[in-house]
A and B are shown apart, each in its own frame.
Chain A
């Protein structure tokens, strides 16, 4: 029996990652990307499982459905079912929450969750990497500009400018990037 799974995910790339992991298992997957009218759309689709990022604020809307709908077709929060503590811990760590129709076989749920957890973890890593790279690039740009300002104002070489920034940062107990940022801001104000 194939399951109908809804993924609530505004990020297209991420939704696709999860779809790619679930479709080969033979499940039908629908993506809802907008928060507006979420409850009504999920009701219309009547899926077996809803997957949503724990950091998505719209999760509370699904929580309402889990409490309000009739007991026969009630989606229950996956986390409060404690039959599989390991799986739940993994899901929380990966940041995926799920709402599952009551009475669905635990093994079937577990296979879907395993696939979803793997994809969510992969995406989380990608996001951290992306963020780290972005910040490093920004800091390097800032330090380059600060070096340029120092070289021009004091007639020193690039190495001397960097050494000066580093010494100042060490004296103040702050990061080179922070000293550079302060210098760039001050230079902007004075020019």
Chain B
């Protein structure tokens, strides 16, 4: 059978799993697609590859298409968010020096309480903290800023590529970081530092990476778009089966993909996080999620949350920004293309963000949709219609 080639770009991270699994486990071939996976060395390169047609679709930091829709970053092209590839999956880590100071003020690295970690951090340091993040427009930046906005703490964000984060911490270029796995765990393995929080302690379902494509490509290739979405969605469903985690880790560990030890990848998929060089283990449910709880649905309200944060910081109109960003979340294509694949579809395309403290059943077409807790650490509720 002849496969239609689709070029998909990625940056080596655990959260690219649905794309790699779609290719390696035959979900793309089932849809008649031959994925040509292209590794990008940095987020700016991947963005340019996507904008200039070197790739048709890409794994992308959720806030990148959002920032573009707001006219930031200089780009003039519109990127569509087709679906969410992963929620959660980042960690905040600190250098060995900072970890020692945190222990000195009584911090126990419990890895759950974001407010406590923030307050202990403020007590432990006197000088400004340099925090490494992978890109100026990223979930990492928004979560760190949100977490520290009321802290009595000076900090500066420095952009460091994910694969260099552990080295930068070891070399003293930065004092802390927020990075996608496995690069935080790698820093612990190298003895460069300790993990302070999983990103989900700040926002329990932060969308991390999305499947993005140029708006004009999506318009010109409706069938390819649909087939790609179904392949990636089925891969995410496959990833949600616990028995498949080992195979997924084995595939992702290869040098052409993440190029990291299998056991580190598998540990994070299981949510068993080693937070310090002493081997302290913390269980993190939902450390990273690809499918359950409607994880792949491109909720307009999630993109709107990013838009509201970015608009405030750049002095843009909040209402206009939120409206612009809702338009790029292709909930219409998600419904149209994934209904036939068996996806349960929510009754609404946006929700109150931060209102669920427990897993909650919501109205959906098949009546089987259970949303995961989505609370913010400070208890705020975000209403994108206000």
Contact = CB atoms under 8 A, between A and B. Distances in A.
Interface of A: 35-37, 39, 54-64, 66-68, 76-77, 79-82, 88-89, 92, 97
Contacts of B173: 36-37
A92 B48 contact: yes
Contacts of B136: 63-64, 67-68
A54 B41 contact: yes
A57 B41 CA distance: 5
Interface stretch (B71-79, B96-104, B248-256, B336-344): B71-79
Interface stretch (B25-33, B157-165, B221-229): B157-165
B44 A63 contact: yes
B54 to A, nearest CB: 7
Nearest to A67: B136
A57 B163 contact: yes
Contacts of B75: 80
Contacts of B72: 67
A37, A54, A97, most chain B CB atoms within 10 A: A54
A115 B203 CA distance: 48
B380 to A, nearest CB: 26
Interface string B14-48: 00000000000000000000000000011111001
Q: What's the dominant secondary structure at chain B's contact region? A: loop
Contacts of A88: 52
Contacts of A66: 74
Interface in B64-90: 72-76
Contacts of B49: 92
Contacts, number: 76
A40 B173 CA distance: 11
B171 interface: yes
A15 B52 CA distance: 26
A80 B158 CA distance: 22
A58 B161 contact: yes
Contacts of B76: 80, 82
Given A61-B160, A63-B159, A76 B45 contact: no
Contacts of B45: 54-55, 59, 97
Contacts of A59: 41-42, 44-45
A66, A68, A92, A97, most chain B CB atoms within 10 A: A92
Nearest to B161: A57
B44 A60 contact: yes
A19 B271 CA distance: 49
Given A80-B51, A92-B49, 11 more contacts: A36-B173, A54-B45, A54-B48, A59-B42, A60-B42, A61-B160, A64-B159, A68-B136, A77-B74, A79-B51, A92-B52
A68 to B, nearest CB: 7
B43, B51, B159, most chain A CB atoms within 10 A: B159
B346 interface: no
Nearest to B134: A60
Contacts of B43: 60, 63
B291 interface: no
B304 to A, nearest CB: 21
B148 to A, nearest CB: 17
A55 B73 contact: no
24 contacts: A35-B164, A36-B171, A37-B173, A39-B159, A54-B48, A56-B42, A58-B164, A59-B41, A60-B42, A60-B135, A60-B159, A61-B159, A63-B43, A63-B44, A63-B136, A64-B136, A64-B159, A67-B73, A67-B136, A79-B51, A79-B52, A80-B74, A80-B75, A97-B45
